[in-house]
Structures are given as C-alpha cells and as structure tokens.
Structure 1
Amino acid sequence: MTTLSLRALNRALMDRQFLLRRTDRTPLEVIRHLVAVQAQEPNWAYVGLWSRIHAFTQSQLTALPADRQVVRSALLRSTQHLAAADDFRRLRPLLQPVLDRTAGSPHFSRNGTGPDPASLVAEGLELLAGGTLSRKELARRPAERHPGRDGRNLAGELELRTPLVHGVATGAWGSWGNRSGVSVTPAEAWLGQPMAATATAAKELIRRYLAAFGPAGVKDVQAWCGLTRLAEVVAEMRAELRRYSGPDGGELLDLADAELPDPETPAPVRLLPAFDNALLGHADRTRVISDEDRKRVMPGQARVRPTILVDGRVRGTWSLDAGTLWLTPFRPLRAADRAALEQEAERLLPFVGGGDVSYGDPATARS
C-alpha cells in the first residue's frame, strides 16, 4: 500500500479545492463539486468562491438563489450551507438524523419542555402554510402557543427538524454578520419538488466527498458531514475505492480514478474566508494547519477565523475592519511570500470594498 506524506495530502486537497489554481468553472459547478459551501455568514461564501474562481463577481452567486438553483439551509454538521437545489433535495434527507440529534440537544430544551418533535414540525408548517415568514415572526407565534418556552429556540429547532430554506435576501452580498433579516420557506414549496431520499445517497455522498477532499479516512468523512457508522457503508464500497496509508499509518481512501498532483507543485498564496471548507473537511486537519496554529484559528467551537495560506498551509489570519484589510501572519514570512501575500490582498480589496492593506491586529491598532 502506498504511503502518502503530509505534503502529498496537502497538494491533493489544494488541487481538489481549486486552490492550486483558480478554475474557469461556473459558481454553480464549483458549489456542486464542493458538495456544499459553508455559509454561516453569507458574505464569507462569496470570498471563498472568489479565492477559487477566475474573475468571480458577487452577482454571479447572488443570481443562483434568486433563480432557485442554489439554496441556503442547515445541512452538513447542522450548520448553514449553500448547496445546489438538486443536491439539497437528495442530501438533506440523508443528513436529517444529524440535524435531529442537534435539535434534541440540551440547548433547545433548556427553557422547559415544549411540543414533541412531530407536533413542532406540524405547527411550524401550519404557520408557514407553504409561504415565507421572518425568523422573528416564526419565533413569536410558537412562543404564544407554548408559554415559558423561548420562541427563538423553538424556531431554531424547527429549522433543524424540517427542511426550510432561507430567503434570497438572506444570502445576498453585503450583510457582514447581520442575521436579523433571515426569512424561511418550506424547501419543497420553494423548489416545487419533494425531498428525494434514495437508498444510495450515503455512497454518493462519500464519492463526492472524496472528489473534493480526498484521500481521506472514514473519520474524516464523518467529521465533515456529521453522520456516524459510515465504516459500514465504506466496507460495501471497497472494491471501487483505492487505498493508501497516511503519514500516521492510518488507512486513507480515494476514488479509483482520482489523480494526485506532484507533491512539489507550487501552491500560491490564498486568502480564505471564515469557516472555509478546506479547513473543516477532515477530522485530522494537519494536512492544512498545524495543531498549534489550529488553536489560534479556531479559538472556540463556533469560530473559524479567515486564514492566510502560504505554500498550501495556514500561516496566519486576516480580517476586514473599517475598510482596512489586516494581515496577521503567525510568524515572519520570507520576502517572496510576503510580496505574494500583499499582491493577493490588493486583489481582494476591491471585491470586499476595502481601501487599504495593513499588517497587525485591528484591535491592537485601535488601542
């Protein structure tokens, strides 16, 4: 069995994530290839596509939800993602147990008992009546029916337990961190088609994961999507998968026809958004970030800072503050890497509406 080095795994990931070279594929094709794009904060998905697609513009993505080709909803790991409409119809039923598990966590029941899951879904769909409501209104009405329960928790649980998609304006460019305007619609009403559960959905998910994140182990797939017991599914697929040994001796799997780039292929500087797929696609993330730096990029369970990639690995963070794009390398960069980083930052500036590039931490600069 061939053993793959950490660098070989890094270059495979960079290649499959369109981070070795930008692609000419359309935004819809890239979203499909990546299976789904993390979109907890709407603007970050735009930056992620900018880092991967030649001449990408905000309007190219904004048009997709408006045309109902892409939806924004809870999906992988119970978090908000952009997914092609047909993919969402197939994958949401497969991932529903993950979302149900999250909905049943203590977070949603901490203010006392409420309706059972089936009753909550029935009540919510009755309120929506196939139409659209703001999250605020979706929280207010159930709270009136169930005194003592936090309406926001009820609305949040409803979004997890039944497929609701966010309104077009929710995912539009320009709302940095603004979640107050979120509206939701039943997915089947919005798309005009039912959810499409299939018996082969888990195998399809694994194949597509490997195409975008492989080679990888079973634990990596599970960490990425939230499902468990996928080893049983992989066991049925072994005849169609190629096996490798990882740097630690663990088994890695890949598509039989997937090519691996030369580990010495240069990897250009890239600026990745917060919550980028490339950082969240594996249980073992050392192919792209060291354990030491991971603590700085992911200081809490719900935080993943925007990152700087140098030679395919995370070497710092960046942020946008009052029109300034701040670069914060974790350690000194070589002159050539520093120049490449500044060039990439200057290219990003007009896209994000910034006016200047600076080094340091904006919080420190203000103090």
Structure 2
Amino acid sequence: MTAGPILTSADLNRAMLARQHLLAPTSLGIVAAIEAIGGLQAQEPASPYVALWSRLANFEAAELDRAFVDQSVVKATLMRVTLHAVSATDYGQLLPAVRPMHHALRRRGAAAVDDAIVARLGRSALAHAAEPRSNPALRAHVEAEAGRLGVDLDEVWWWVRLRHDFIHVPTTRPWSFSRRPILTAASAWLDAAVFADEPEAIEHLVRRYLGAFGPATLADAAGWSGLSATALRPGLAAIEGAGEVWHGRDEAGRLLVDLAQAPRPGGDVEAPPRLLPMWDSILLAHRDRTRLMDDATRSFVIGRNGDTLPAFLVDGRVAGLWWAVGDDGGGRCRIELEPFGRLAPGAMPELAREAERLAAFLEPLDPNVYRRYRRSRARRRPGA
C-alpha cells in the first residue's frame, strides 16, 4: 500500500460537503438522497426535514411525510444506539451490522438478568407490536409477564426494546413523529424486508460511511457507527479486495481511506453558507472534527449531554448557531443568527438570504422549532 496524497483540513472539508450535497443542492429523490448522505439523525423529529431542506433542490416536507408513510424510509435505532431515518433497503443492510452492538449493551440493573428472560419478554413485546402501540401500552403488555418471571421491568425495559427490532410509526404532523413514539415490530412494518448477513452488512456500512463522510480514518468510522475498528476492518478489507479503496493521509500523518470513485474536489472550492439542523450527521461523523470546527467551537455546539445544536456554516466551517423564532401568534417565523465571531466580508448577505429561505420553509410547519433548546444560548460562546 502506497502512502498516498496528503489532504489538508480544507480538502477533507470540501470532500465531505460534496458528498453531503452541501456545496450545491441535489435533484436526487428522497430515498436516493438519504442513502447517499448516510442516513439522517432523527432524535429530534424536525431534524431529518431540515437536513434534507439544506441539501435538496426544491424540497417539500410532504415528500418525506409520504416516504415515511409508504415505508420507503423508516425511523429506528441504529448507529451509536441513536435514532436514524434511513431507506427501508438500508435498514435491512445496516441493522445486522449494528445489532451485535445493541445486544452487547446492558444497563446496570439488567446485568443480572438472564438473556433467555430478556428474549422471552422481547418476543412478547414484538408479538403485541404486530399492531402499532405506544410505548406505555407495549410496556404494560409485557409487565405482567415480567412480574411472573420475577423481573423488575424498570431495570430491563430499555434493553428489551434495544435487543428487538422496532420501528417508529408516523402518526402526526408536522415532522411525522411526536416525542411519544408509536412503535411496531419491524417484521410487521416491513413484511418484505431482506436482511443481510453480518459480514455483508459490515461491508455495506463501511461503504455507506465512506461514501457519505470520507475520506476518513477507520477510527472515524468506528465513532460514527458505534462499532469497534476491529469489527469494521473485515468490511474495509472486502472493499479493498475489490480494488475500490483510495488511500491517503491527513496533515497529522493519519491513514485515510475512501471509496476510490468518490469526489475529492479540493479545498479551494467555494462553499456557500448553509444552515444545519440539530444533530446534523456531519457534526457527528468523525472522531477528529477539525475539518469542520476547532475544539472551542465543538464544545459549544455539542453539549456534555450530547445535544448538538442547530449550526450554520460559512466557508464550510461551523461559524455560529441559528434559532427559529415565531411571533406571539405563532404564525410568522424569523431566523436569528448567532455568529461566534466576525464573519468574512460579504458572508452575511448570503447567509441572511439562506436564513430567510429557511424561515419560509419552517413558517407553515413549526415556526418555533427547537424552542426548548434555546436555553443553550446562555452557555459560554467560543472566544468569550
């Protein structure tokens, strides 16, 4: 293996933004776009919508609503044990890769509970979830059996849900999902789903990651997926065996890998201002995030509890936060921009136009989106 070229932080930044369609919006359809960008973080119901608005030309929220309803896109717990929106096809390819990690996780109270009991409770929950159920209804169904088995459901319910395959059912507007999820068994929702075997799934996960976020280190891919580098290495080896891997290094000398045919446009390519949702995937896709922000900025945008705030990019880098503010009647929306420092000359007019465009998108849907997180404004800003 040759050493390969050395890529600067700007080179890595532009390569990722190109794959994420943040240099120029794409005309890809919803499903193809979600696959190309590696899925969408979905802890906040609004975030997949804002993420697609920032990347797709002429995106309308109703398009994603329909994709959730027709089951071509699903919301479920996947990478890093967090909620993601992915295509139904990718769900069948990605879940087998991360399932062993889901099964291995235990909370303290569940450590003493026998696996067979958890499996029995899970089968009961899945059978009841052949029809969509609220979390309290699902839990109530399982509680009696847990009592007969002498198990405290408070200690194991999280693990029961994690170890068994549930999908979130779209039930509301806007954003398709509320904070009180309705769950159903994946086998009931996706009756024609095809699930990969684990080696194939690992290879698919590595391909999806590199295609969406490369070039990157194997440690970056591990951080994004929640799997270990050791678990991912066979997937990378399979892609290398097909002659489809590019190798290079970053300025610190770390080995980078990428899909050979993926775009790497160079660090001098113009990057227009972009507004990103909470938990946007690019803010979480690498262990080393200096391609997007320095450590001071990172500590402000990503809280100790993991909350990842709505940020904006200028020249491809995180330059501040944005907040949607509705009027007293709740009907109108404006976007308040909070730069971390002085912006480059000429950046503000283009950024303001992008903010106006986002306000127009949010106004008929939720002009106060992310309102509960505005308390984060009180946190100390970088450089303050």
Q: Distance in 1 between matches of 2:185 and 2:208?
A: 26
The equivalent of 1:157 in structure 2 is: 159
For 1:256-275, list aligned pairs within 5 A: 256-275=260-279
Q: How far does residue 162 in structure 1 lie from its aligned partner after superposition?
A: 1.3
**Would the alpha carbon gap of residues 83 and 152 (structure 1) be closer, same or farther in structure 2, given more than 3 Å must change?**
farther
Q: Scaled by the length of structure 2, what TM-score is found?
A: 0.85
The equivalent of 1:192 in structure 2 is: 191
1:62-114 deviation line (CA, Å, top 9, x unaligned): 00011111111101111111111111112112210122233x133x639x858
The equivalent of 1:120 in structure 2 is: 121
Q: Distance in 2 between matches of 1:167 and 1:332?
A: 44
The equivalent of 1:217 in structure 2 is: 217
Q: Distance in 2 between matches of 1:283 and 1:268?
A: 25
1:167-221 deviation line (CA, Å, top 9, x unaligned): 1226x52479x412x1111111111125512242211221221111111110011
- 2:72 counterpart (61, 69, 73): 69
Q: How far does residue 44 in structure 1 lie from its aligned partner after superposition?
A: 0.9
1:134 aligns to 2:145 (yes or no) = no
SS at match of 2:283: helix
The equivalent of 2:360 in structure 1 is: 350
Structure 1 unmatched runs, 5+ = none
Q: Scaled by the length of structure 1, what TM-score is found?
A: 0.89
One-letter amino acid of the structure 1 residue matched with residue 77 of structure 2:
A
Q: How far does residue 135 in structure 1 lie from its aligned partner after superposition?
A: 1.0
Contact 1:316 1:327 in 2 (8 A): yes
More divergent stretch after superposition (266-275 vs 331-340): 331-340
Aligned residues: 355
**Would the alpha carbon gap of residues 202 and 84 (structure 1) be closer, same or farther in structure 2, given more than 3 Å must change?**
same
**Would the alpha carbon gap of residues 159 and 362 (structure 1) be closer, same or farther in structure 2, given more than 3 Å must change?**
closer
The equivalent of 2:13 in structure 1 is: 10
Runs of 4+ residues over 4 Å off in structure 1? 112-115, 147-155, 361-366
The equivalent of 1:337 in structure 2 is: 347
For 1:1-367, list aligned pairs within 5 A: 1-102=4-105, 104-106=106-108, 109=110, 113=113, 116-128=117-129, 130-147=130-147, 154-169=156-171, 172-174=173-175, 178-180=178-180, 182-198=181-197, 199-228=199-228, 229=230, 230-239=232-241, 240=243, 241-322=245-326, 323-353=333-363
Q: Distance in 1 between matches of 2:192 and 2:48?
A: 26
One-letter amino acid of the structure 2 residue matched with residue 203 of structure 1:
E
Contact 1:48 1:273 in 2 (8 A): yes
Q: Distance in 2 between matches of 1:54 and 1:91?
A: 27
Q: How far does residue 51 in structure 1 lie from its aligned partner after superposition?
A: 0.1
Q: Distance in 2 between matches of 1:293 and 1:43?
A: 23
More divergent stretch after superposition (310-319 vs 186-195): 186-195
**Would the alpha carbon gap of residues 5 and 196 (structure 1) be closer, same or farther in structure 2, given more than 3 Å must change?**
same
**Would the alpha carbon gap of residues 275 and 109 (structure 1) be closer, same or farther in structure 2, given more than 3 Å must change?**
same
Q: Distance in 2 between matches of 1:254 and 1:365?
A: 37
More divergent stretch after superposition (301-310 vs 231-240): 231-240
1:29-74 deviation line (CA, Å, top 9, x unaligned): 1111123211111111100000000110100100001111111110
1:308-351 deviation line (CA, Å, top 9, x unaligned): 10000001111224444221111121341122211110110011
Q: How far does residue 363 in structure 1 lie from its aligned partner after superposition?
A: 5.3
Contact 2:320 2:337 in 1 (8 A): yes
Q: Distance in 1 between matches of 2:179 and 2:140?
A: 16
